Amino acid sequence: MDTGVRTHRRYSPSQAERVILCPGSRALIERTPERDRTTYAEEGDKAHIVLEAGLRTFATTASQALDASELCFETFDDSFMSAIQEALDYIWFLYELMQSQYGDVQMFVEVYVNPPVASAPGEAGGYCDIALFSKAARKLWVIDYKHGIGVVKEAIDNSQANQYAAGFMFGDQEAKVDADMVDEVTLVIVQPRAFHPKGTVREFNTTPAAVFDYLLWYDDCIAKAEAEDAPLNPGLEQCQFCPARAVCPALERSALTHALGTPINSIKDLGTVKLPDPKTLDVNRLSFIKQSFDMLRLYMRSVDQQIEELERKGIDVPGWKMVQTQAVRHWYGDEDERITKLAALIGCNRHDLYDTKPKGITDVEKMIVDAFKQRVGRSRKKQAAEDAKQMFAFFTTKHSSGNLTLVEDSDPRPAANLAQISFGQIADATKLITNQGA
């Protein structure tokens, strides 16, 4: 995977979600100077490079995959390597399972597919991470690996995976898979580092006909984006990773207006607005403002990033400058020699200068899962991981800290009964006073 030479199409699968939600974003992005890639994006690229190398060389462990990649001289943390391992485990488990049943499974790794769109011919293609096809099973799997943590992606009707599937079956020039030989398409999201109630691997079954319907609908979305008056439609989902969010007038206007409850066209107008006292607002208005926080926070963070990028390039932004961060103390010299001298100065034992404590729950759980998986063959690793987690459950317990936190109604946790909590606290206090009096 050479991310440095790839040309991303204007309506590629990775752009689809944003184009659908905000048709005007495409034109605004093209007028916006290219931004520096974030460290998160660069790490995601590296994860894809390692995973691709592992699949092409039939590696079964993340270490083997790394050794086979162009990044073999780099070092990555446990979170990175565990994510690659989980992806490899799932893909090889699925491949071997289907191969044992049907014997004709084809694997596609980082293959370019180009779904046909009349509104912008040749501009909807992209590289699919992994796909599996079995003519005997009449089934196509489209697997999209996500390395990110912060934004959880759903497999259900996933636009990016749908577009890859369309490219495989209906692609311009030549389709990789004959759609007439497919009864079922499974869209898969593998996102090992992000929490989801359904787990780190999510699957959604659809059909070639439904995928084709998506392609027709997306073609209409592209036509809207190609129009000169394509609207900018800001929202948290489509704005979060948009390269133009720091210069988007619609996002600026929406973020400020929603948060303040007063129509504001620009940040320049903010000084003319008197902010309301929250104590004077009704519950509906309070709720509306609270819901707007994420949008406003996203916009302000984008402005910060844009200013920092400009300053780093030597472009002066009035009222701001780059300075050295405050110096932080670090240990100096050889550790063994330092510990010996410090112990002598203090008059204590060398061991008194070290902290020793058990590893955290997550780290130990990973160690147990890895140990169980190493004891079995590749086809049984998934079950071994489940067995390990069940055994580990006997060593842990779950209990809340008792603290309360404010979340949206959509959060799956039940609302706390504040009256019951308060009554319990009063009862506990009464019991304590009674016991002291006795």
pLDDT digits (tens, 9 = 90+) for 308-317: 888 888 888 8
Residue 415 is assigned to a structural domain of this protein: no
Report the pLDDT averaged over residues 77-85.
91
Same domain, 199 and 280: no
Average pLDDT score, the chain:
85
Same domain, 272 and 334: no
Same domain, 301 and 330: no
Same domain, 33 and 107: yes
User: What's residue 235's pLDDT?
Assistant: 83
Structural tokens at position 154: 């759903």
Give yes or no for a contact between 361 and 392, defined as CB atoms under 8 angstroms apart: no
Structural tokens at position 131: 């796909």
**In total, how many domains does the chain have?**
4
User: What's residue 284's pLDDT?
Assistant: 83
Range of the domain at 329: 324-356
Same domain, 241 and 222: no
Please report where in the chains the tokens 């694997």 appear, as a residue. 107
pLDDT digits (tens, 9 = 90+) for 261-301: 666 666 666 555 666 778 888 888 788 777 777 777 777 78
Which of 415, 435, 416 lies closest to 424 in space, CA to CA?
416
Please say if the pLDDT value at position 22 is more than 80.
yes
Same domain, 37 and 167: yes
pLDDT digits (tens, 9 = 90+) for 119-158: 999 999 999 999 999 999 999 999 999 998 878 899 999 9
Same domain, 43 and 27: yes
Please say if the pLDDT value at position 3 is more than 50.
no
**Of the residues 169, 198, 226, which one is the last residue of a structural domain?**
226
Same domain, 177 and 307: no
Report the pLDDT averaged over residues 348-362.
83
Please say if the pLDDT value at position 307 is more than 80.
yes
Q: What does the alpha-carbon distance between residue 160 and residue 20 come to, in Å, rounded to a whole number?
A: 11
User: What's residue 7's pLDDT?
Assistant: 66
Residue 410 is assigned to a structural domain of this protein: no
pLDDT digits (tens, 9 = 90+) for 370-399: 899 889 887 788 888 889 888 988 888 877
HSE-CB at 203 with a 13 A cutoff on CA atoms is 10
Report the pLDDT averaged over residues 97-126.
94
pLDDT digits (tens, 9 = 90+) for 400-437: 666 777 777 777 677 777 666 555 554 555 555 555 55
Same domain, 181 and 285: no
Residue 108 is assigned to a structural domain of this protein: yes
